[in-house]
Chains A and B, each alone.
Chain A
Amino acid sequence: MAQTAGRGDSIKHAFIGPAFLVVLVVTLFPLIYALVISFQAIRLVPPLPPRFVGFGNYAEILSSARFWGSMWTTSVIVFISVAFQYVIGFALALALHHNVAGASLYRVTFLLPMFLAPVCVALIARMVFHPYLGPVNDAMGMLGAGNIPFLTEPNLAIAVLITIEIWQWTPFVALLMLAGLQSLPGEVFEAAKVDNIPAWRRFRDITFPMLLPLSVAVVFIRLIEGFKVIDTVFVLTGGGPGTATETLTLFAYNEGFKKFNLGMTSALSFTFLIVVIVFGTLYLAAAQRVTRRYA
């Protein structure tokens, strides 16, 4: 890196400048405007002139049951689905790494779900889980239990959302863990095999600790991405029944585009940002402690 620092150095600004400006102007600068608005009561329909309310919007959010409900829903979906994604994804990566029969076929197929639009996946799930016309209830019927209202009963709807998340994002975990497995030094495993250390202990004492930093990163990415979920919920249940499956992003969207309550939506999205930052910091601190104990 930076071998050529000094000579003709100033051209570096021309290289990085455009990307820097685009991110600054599109992603960061509007935030300033939204931050100002989040301290105001401002409504489009019916139009209400902007009025400074200080932390009023934030206080209202923190005391609203709907906010905590959407927090809870989002957390349940994210934590349960990421736990499954990690375990299944890691197991699949191990299987692929050890070249199970047909590994090359699985490789491409397993990648597929994460490249599909979440709205498509949700539409497909609507058909598959349909109470009368869907294949899942068809199979359930054969087992003696039929016509389960998957999408209209809150807990079941959340279970379906979790299933969708697992279906779509386990490949991501598998892909990265597989790349991690392939980058591990082979000699250690050869030595362990020669010493007749059983497979389970090889995994527990060598593979898992060596991949722990990668695991921490992969789970972190999935948690952060998971918290943003809106498209699947939007299509699958629209947040219903009632607001039982409403996630944070959907809640913010509904405030802004159904009630046109701009100050509220801005405050809500900043609250959301703070939640993500606090949570991310806590997670990384905890992860560092765990990694250090293993290392």
Chain B
Amino acid sequence: METAGWKRMGLGLSLVWLFFCVFPLYFVAVTAFKPPLAVSQGPTYIPFFDFEPTLQAFRDAFSGLRGDFYGPIMSSIFVSTAATATSVFLGTMAAYALVRFEFRIRLLSGLTFAVIAIGGFVFLQQVLGWGVPNALGAVLIVALTTAVLINRLPLPGPVLGNNDVTFWFVSQRMFPPIVSAFALFLLYAELGRAGMTMLDSFWGLLLAYTAFGLPFAVWLMRDFLESVPLEVEEAAMVDDIGRLRIFFQIVLPMSKPGLIATSMIVLAFIWNEFLFALLLTSGKWQTLPILIAGQNSSRGDEWWAISVAALIAIVPMIVVAAILGRMMRSGLLSGSIK
């Protein structure tokens, strides 16, 4: 009796939320088929009843009459698939190392790295007047080598383990992205002055988005890989098969569901990403979110055109959400919250 009351409340809430959740999507979907009059004379809702649906907005968009649509779509597709593939691949390798090996990193060596990196950069760039990319590159090599060597010494102080390394990867996401996006913009601009085009280029975006996706990839893949049974790998090791072959021929095929789920999530994040694209592109490699953000000022009240643009960005994500929803039902994602 009492439980039934709670159930009814739950159902009520779900239905209200369903309406709240779906209505805006429904509205944008029908608006894409509206003729101009159906927009400018106040809101209309039901096709055939309120207005005569038309495909004109889609034709306009793809005929290229009203600005370039293909360019941003193509660059979004290229950049997001390439960056997703790279970051999931590198992330899976890192996650595998974190699951199967033990890492011991002295806090002191990490600190040495930071001190040498910052101090060395200030010295080289400000005092000796080196260019920014050269100074950063030199500092990176020196600081990294020193840190690795120091890590070998039996120094005092806390030792960081695998969980700390994982946290280091994930903590990149806690940074406000404007910090690294802006810093990256400055660095790319400097590289451009040194003759290496990174701003508004495929490689620049690929690199930025690979780093952007890595924290998710490492975090999610670590959980998936932990559930891959060890016995098969041990059997392979007895047969003296190398680690790399084990990884490519046994581990990767066995963690396919995990790879798919992780790729979907990373893809969604990169596909929708706005700030990096806003800072790092200016024309040729602009991605869809930038095009869409610009619709507002360039199209004004031409809602049918705006809706078409929005739909193009939304539809692939509906597919992603559907795939993930099916995986969620099979309990695949529930492991990753622990």
Q: Which residues of A contact B (CB under 8 A)?
A: 1-5, 8-9, 11-16, 18-20, 22-37, 88, 91-92, 94-96, 98, 100-113, 115-121, 123-128, 132-135, 138, 167, 170-171, 175-176, 179-180, 182-183, 198-199, 214, 224, 227-228, 230-231, 234-235, 248-249, 252-253, 256-257, 262, 265-266, 269-270, 272-273, 276, 280
Contact = CB atoms under 8 A, between A and B. Distances in A.
A1 B98 CA distance: 8
Most buried by A among B17, B237, B243, B318: B17
Given A19-B169, A117-B274, A167-B24, A127 B211 contact: no
A24 B268 CA distance: 23
A256 B182 contact: yes
A111 B180 contact: no
B79 interface: no
Contact of A110 (B21, B45, B136, B173): B21
B110 to A, nearest CB: 12
Contact of B183 (A34, A167, A183): A34
A112 B321 contact: yes
B95 to A, nearest CB: 9
B43 A138 contact: yes
B117 interface: yes
A249 B178 CA distance: 6
Contact of A4 (B7, B100, B190, B208): B100
A124 B329 contact: no
Nearest to A177: B337
A249 B325 CA distance: 32
B320 interface: yes
A135 B22 CA distance: 14
Nearest to A272: B176
Contacts of A18: 90, 93-94
B40 A30 contact: no
Nearest to A266: B182
Contact of A228 (B165, B177, B272): B177
B112 interface: no
A18 B94 CA distance: 8
B48 interface: no
Given A100-B10, A269-B178, A230 B183 contact: no
B100 A26 contact: no
B33 interface: no
A123 B214 contact: no
A264 to B, nearest CB: 11
A267 B26 CA distance: 43
Contacts of A12: 97, 100-101, 103
Interface in B177-196: 177-180, 182-184, 186-187, 190
A66 to B, nearest CB: 16
A33 B306 contact: no
A61 to B, nearest CB: 14
A214 B338 CA distance: 9
Secondary structure at chain A's binding surface: helix, strand, loop or mixed?
helix
Interface stretch (B54-62, B65-73, B255-263, B287-295): B287-295
Interface in B288-338: 288-289, 292-293, 295-296, 301, 303, 306-307, 309-310, 313-314, 317-318, 320-322, 324-326, 328-329, 331, 333-334, 336-338
Contacts of A228: 176-178
B174 interface: yes
Given A15-B94, A31-B179, A116-B314, 6 more contacts: A30-B183, A33-B183, A120-B289, A128-B23, A133-B301, A180-B337
A88 B9 CA distance: 13
Nearest to B40: A133
Interface of B: 2-3, 6-7, 10-11, 13-14, 17-18, 20-25, 27-28, 31, 39-40, 42-43, 45, 90-91, 93-94, 96-103, 117-118, 121-122, 125-126, 132, 136, 139-140, 162, 165, 169, 172-180, 182-184, 186-187, 190, 207-208, 210-211, 214-215, 218, 230, 237, 243-244, 247, 268, 271-272, 274-275, 278-279, 288-289, 292-293, 295-296, 301, 303, 306-307, 309-310, 313-314, 317-318, 320-322, 324-326, 328-329, 331, 333-334, 336-338
26 contacts: A12-B100, A12-B103, A15-B96, A19-B169, A19-B218, A23-B169, A27-B172, A30-B180, A31-B179, A88-B17, A104-B329, A106-B17, A109-B21, A117-B271, A117-B288, A119-B313, A124-B24, A135-B27, A138-B43, A167-B24, A179-B334, A230-B275, A231-B274, A249-B178, A272-B176, A272-B178
Most buried by A among B208, B334, B338: B334
Closest 7 CB pairs of A and B: A30-B183, A95-B10, A2-B102, A15-B97, A26-B211, A34-B183, A19-B94
A111 B324 contact: yes
B255 to A, nearest CB: 14
B22 to A, nearest CB: 6
B6 A34 contact: no
Given A108-B325, A230-B178, A16 B98 contact: yes
B94 A16 contact: yes
A120 B162 CA distance: 39
Contacts of A107: 325, 328-329
Contacts of B321: 108, 111-112, 115
